[in-house]
Structure 1
Amino acid sequence: PARPGPPAKPAPPGHPVLTLPAPTGPHRVGVVDLHIVDRTRPDPVAGPGRFHELMISVWYPARETARYPLVPWMPAVTLQPYLTDVGFDPGAFASPLSAGHDSAPVLRAGGRLPVVLYSHGAHSHRADNTVVVQELASHGYAVITIAHTYDTYVAFPDGRVLTPSRSQPMGPPAFAADARSVLDAVEDLAAGHNPDADGKQLPDGLATALDPHRIGMVGWSKGGTATVYTMLADDRVAAGLSFDGPMAPVITADLDRPVMMMTAVFTREDDPDVAGFWPHLTGWRRYAHLEGAEHTCFSDAESLIPQISTIVGMSEQDVESYIGTLDPAEGLHIQQAYPLAFFEEQLRGRHSRLLDGPSPAFPDVKFES
Structure 2
Amino acid sequence: MCYKIALNFEDGVTRFIGCNSGEKVLDAAYRAKINLPMDCSDGVCGTCKCRAESGNYDLGDDYIEDALSADEAEGGLVLTCQMKPTSDCVLSVPTTSLACKTGQQRFAATVATIAPHNDAAIVLELDVDGGGAAPVFLSGQYVNIAVPGSGQSRSYSFSTVPGAGRIGFLIKKIPGGVMSTWLERAEIGERLDITGPLGSFYLREVKRPLLLIAGGTGLAPFLSMLEGLAQDKSGDRIHLIYGVTRDLDLVLVEEIEAYARRLPNFSYSTVVAEEASSHPRKGWVTQHMPAELLNGGDVDVYLCGPPPMVDAVRRHFDETGVKPNSFHYEKFTPNTATGAGA
- TM class by smaller structure: under 0.3
Larger Rg computed on CA atoms: 2
Structure (1 or 2) with the greater helix fraction = 1
Q: Provide the TM-score with structure 1 as the length reference.
A: 0.24
Structure (1 or 2) with the greater strand fraction = 2
Q: Provide the TM-score with structure 2 as the length reference.
A: 0.26
